[in-house]
Amino acid sequence: MIYSFYRHETLKHRSITVSYNFKLTKFYIVFFLAGTNEATITEVLAHRTIAQRQRIKEAFKQSVGKDLADELSSELSGNFRSVILGLLMLAPVYDAYELKTAMKGAGTEEACLIDILASRSNAEIRTINAFYKKEYEKSLEDAVSGDTSGMFKRVLVSLLTAGRDESDKVDEAQAVVDAKEIYEAGEARWGTDEVKFLTVLCVRNRNHLLRVFEEYQKISGKDIEESIKREMSGCLEDVFLAIVKCLRNKQAFFAERLYKSMKGLGTTDSVLIRIMVARAEIDMLDIKAEFLKMYGKTLYSFIKGDTSGDYRKILLELCGGE
């Protein structure tokens, strides 16, 4: 079943609840007889699971002989359109699409590469790799390698191998060794041996690395994040920090990314849309809880104050209330 991708999280963490009343007849009538109705589109699509939206797409094509995504793409515009088209994709297809878009044309949206590759599991990355190859007839590794450089490229390629140990085992002796080696590769020397950071942070399992971070604190008197900020810069700093933050608390990482996308003047809509679409059915409730804990305000209130129109309405539906 194509609907099983990325469905390993428990239902209680999602902001989208299961409903089988698709109201397709109403959707057809409004869309084809009354013109595009954003409120109805939001009602029909924002409250459905990925699997249900795939069934809506199939039923739409069966009934009218047209592709729903193509029809909506031609009728809608702006950020609302981006959200809707994202919702109509399977999770790994959406990730692959976002990665492709981030590397399209001149320049690269490195933040997109980091957000996705630092936060996905081995199984998710393998699935993204497969869909990317199928859709774009080029391996994701080749695309990333051709669009990035240096140690940043090497870290991303390492993540793309989907080779992280995902066991729960903690080797106490090795954790001490790893912490010492990272310290000696950074704070304890002139210059930084980034390869040692890569070897430890991109290979060891989560529980082991959390123990490494504790040992590192004892040895250096600093958090690993503080040392990364001191020893590195630019995209390399960003990707290593993202890896560490996702290992510590993935939902807090996404809460921070959402906050930064909306704070101050202007909104980084690409980040806001990507996280709201990708996490709505996975862990949005936990992200909302972390957001409130970290910033003393609800994610809902931030979105409401920073967006407008139908774009605001659909994001608030994906957020799932205060």
User: Which sequence spans correspond to the domains of the chain?
Assistant: 2-87, 172-232, 243-319
CATH of region 172-232: 1.10.220.10
Q: What is the DSSP letter of 243?
A: H
pLDDT digits (tens, 9 = 90+) for 244-272: 999 999 999 999 999 999 998 888 999 99
Residue 14 CA to residue 168 CA, distance in Å, equals 25
Q: Do 251 and 287 contact (CB within 8 A), yes or no?
A: yes
pLDDT-based confidence at residue 1 (cuts at 50, 70, 90) = very low
Q: Residue 2: its pLDDT value, please?
A: 35
Domain 2-87 has CATH 1.20.120.420: no
pLDDT at 9 over 50: no
Domain 243-319 has CATH 3.40.718.10: no
State percent of the chain over pLDDT 70: 87
pLDDT digits (tens, 9 = 90+) for 211-226: 999 999 999 999 999 9
Q: Do 123 and 113 contact (CB within 8 A), yes or no?
A: no
Q: Do 30 and 40 contact (CB within 8 A), yes or no?
A: yes
Q: Do 22 and 55 contact (CB within 8 A), yes or no?
A: yes
Q: Residue 27: its pLDDT value, please?
A: 60
pLDDT at 13 over 60: no
Q: What is the DSSP letter of 107?
A: S
Q: Residue 20: its pLDDT value, please?
A: 44
Q: Do 115 and 275 contact (CB within 8 A), yes or no?
A: yes
Q: Do 121 and 247 contact (CB within 8 A), yes or no?
A: no
pLDDT at 146 over 50: yes
Top pLDDT among 10 and 59 is at 59
Q: Residue 58: its pLDDT value, please?
A: 87
Task: Quote the tokens at residue 292.
Answer: 């409130």
CB under 8 Å to 131, separation ≥6 — which residues? Answer: 90, 92, 93, 95, 96
Residue 212 CA to residue 224 CA, distance in Å, equals 9
Residue 239 CA to residue 161 CA, distance in Å, equals 16
Residue 24 CB neighbours (<10 A): 14
Do the domains spanning 172-232 and 243-319 agree at the CATH topology level?
yes
Q: Residue 26: its pLDDT value, please?
A: 58
Task: Quote the tokens at residue 321.
Answer: 């209330």
Q: Residue 25: its pLDDT value, please?
A: 56
Is the Cα torsion angle 78, 82, 87, 89 positive or negative in sign? positive
**SS3 category, 85:** helix
pLDDT digits (tens, 9 = 90+) for 86-142: 999 999 999 999 999 999 977 789 999 999 999 999 999 999 999 999 999 999 999
pLDDT digits (tens, 9 = 90+) for 150-208: 999 999 999 999 999 999 999 999 999 999 999 998 876 666 789 999 999 999 999 99
- Phi, psi (rounded to 5 degrees) for 65: 70, 25
